[in-house]
A = this chain, B = another copy of it.
Amino acid sequence: MSEPAKDPAGGPLVLVVEDDAQMRRFLRVTLRMHQYRVLEATSAQEALVCAAARRPDLVVLDLGLPDADGITVVERLRTWYSGPVVVVSARHQEPDKIKALDAGADDYLTKPFGTGELLARLRAALRTHNRTAANVDQGVFVTGTLRVDHDRHEVESRGQPVKLTPLEYRLLQALIRHADKVVTRTQLLREVWGEAHVDEAHYLRVYMSALRHKLEADPARPQMLLTEPNVGYRLRTQ
């Protein structure tokens, strides 16, 4: 764990967990340049200690660490840490990436990635997490043209009331629960259909399709109900 000298105060505190020096340097420079304060760890061990001690606002975690796999880190973190965790994975570690998301990570970046993408993801992760419970206070979830009233179990799209079947409603709820986060197929299936059907990926396609046709202006080009190829889905808010 280290916090090299002069960090500009004010920006969000980010913990970067990355063993490769090159990559670490890139992340450090980029983040500093954009007013983040940066902590660094080069192993799982270090990462957990540092996170506990410094309570960062966000964790960027590279999978493929020397001492333990990243999944374990996510699990251990999640026992107490509720902030956003963004996972960085090399292209050939797809299964790990998914495991990490299942374990509670919020989003992922696949190497190689550019500065723009990195910053966008981090901003999104922080934004989501800071989002106040203003909507929740009313028992209503609102984003764009979508409006979900938990009290009355009613859904509205572009001002029009929409009838959802129980499963559709549950699926939508699950997505809202993880708004702006990547939700893996397994996770969605578990939450909506139960443990017994975690590999009926086809259900998801059918019901996502249904949701899109009921909620999206142009179901073929969804604005909210996004597909994350090879991983799952995501509800984009705003």
Contact = CB atoms under 8 A, between A and B. Distances in A.
A113 B151 CA distance: 13
Nearest to A135: B116
Given A34-B137, A112-B191, A166-B229, A117 B79 contact: no
Interface residues of A, number: 37
Contacts of A194: 91-92
Contacts of A173: 113-114, 117
Interface string A29-64: 100011000000000000000000000000000000
A176 B114 contact: yes
Nearest to A92: B194
Interface in A141-183: 141, 148, 150-151, 166, 173-174, 176-177
A124 interface: yes
A133 interface: yes
B33 A177 contact: no
Contacts of A23: none
B139 A120 contact: yes
A139 B123 contact: yes
A195 interface: yes
A120 B151 contact: yes
Contacts of A148: 116
Interface string A223-238: 0000001000000000
Interface in A111-139: 112-117, 119-120, 123-124, 133, 135-137, 139
A55 to B, nearest CB: 15
Given A115-B136, A120-B151, A123-B151, 17 more contacts: A91-B194, A92-B194, A112-B191, A113-B173, A114-B173, A114-B176, A114-B177, A116-B136, A116-B139, A116-B140, A116-B141, A116-B150, A116-B176, A120-B150, A123-B139, A124-B151, A166-B229
24 contacts: A22-B79, A33-B133, A34-B133, A91-B194, A112-B174, A112-B177, A112-B191, A114-B173, A114-B176, A114-B177, A115-B133, A115-B136, A116-B135, A116-B136, A116-B140, A116-B141, A116-B176, A117-B173, A119-B150, A120-B139, A120-B150, A120-B151, A124-B151, A166-B229
